Amino acid sequence: MTIYLTKEGYENLKNEVHHLKTVERKAAAAAIAEAREKGDLSENAEYDAAKEAQGILEKKISELAEMFMNAKIIDESEIDISKVSILTTVKVMNLKVKKEYTYTLVSEKEADLKAGKISVTSPIGKGLLGKKLGEKAKVMTPGGEIEFDILSISL
């Protein structure tokens, strides 16, 4: 499955995978070695905990490495701003509460609601995708249906 990322998101993912492989892996191995030195492994809770932590770390490395291998950097110069798509910033009017919101649609990995970045796979992101200036988007959220008016689309 292709994961679309900005250049910044791609670099962050690359750095995270590198950090986990080079720093965190060494720390996990050291914790296991330290616990092993404490004696009988069959009754060593510290050893069991260190092994479990290592397993969790390896699973995370595997997941992020797969994400990295399937990542595609999005070239902003190729984005069509005539409609809402990934990496576009869209200003909308929530017609239910009569309030304006501005969202930038990004991949799940880069989503950060506090920064106004929503995932294209979120209910609102899905509902806005493909809409054009002036169109209305009906979005089903966990809190019920919300209708948005598309006010502007930009990069």
Q: What long-range pairs does 135-144 form, CB within 8 A, spacing at least 24? A: 136/95, 137/92
| Domain 3-73, second-level architecture | Orthogonal Bundle (1.10)
**Are 3-73 and 76-154 in the same CATH fold?**
no
φ, ψ of residue 95 in degrees (nearest 5): -70, -20
Domain boundaries, given as residue ranges, for the chain? 3-73, 76-154
pLDDT recorded at residue 41: 67
Tokens of 74: 């999005």
| CB-based contacts of 115, cutoff 8 Å, min separation 6 | none
pLDDT recorded at residue 4: 81
State the residue for tokens 């017609």: 95
pLDDT recorded at residue 37: 83
The answer to whether the CB of 3 falls within 8 A of the CB of 70 is yes
pLDDT recorded at residue 39: 72
pTM: 0.66
| Domain 76-154, second-level architecture | Roll (3.10)
- pLDDT tens digit at each of 155 positions of the chain: 778 888 888 899 999 999 999 999 999 999 888 888 877 767 778 888 889 999 999 999 999 999 888 888 887 778 888 999 988 999 999 998 999 999 999 988 889 999 999 999 999 999 999 999 999 999 998 888 999 999 999 98
Look at residue 84 and give its three-state secondary structure: coil
pLDDT recorded at residue 83: 94
Cα four-point dihedral sign 39, 40, 41, 47: negative
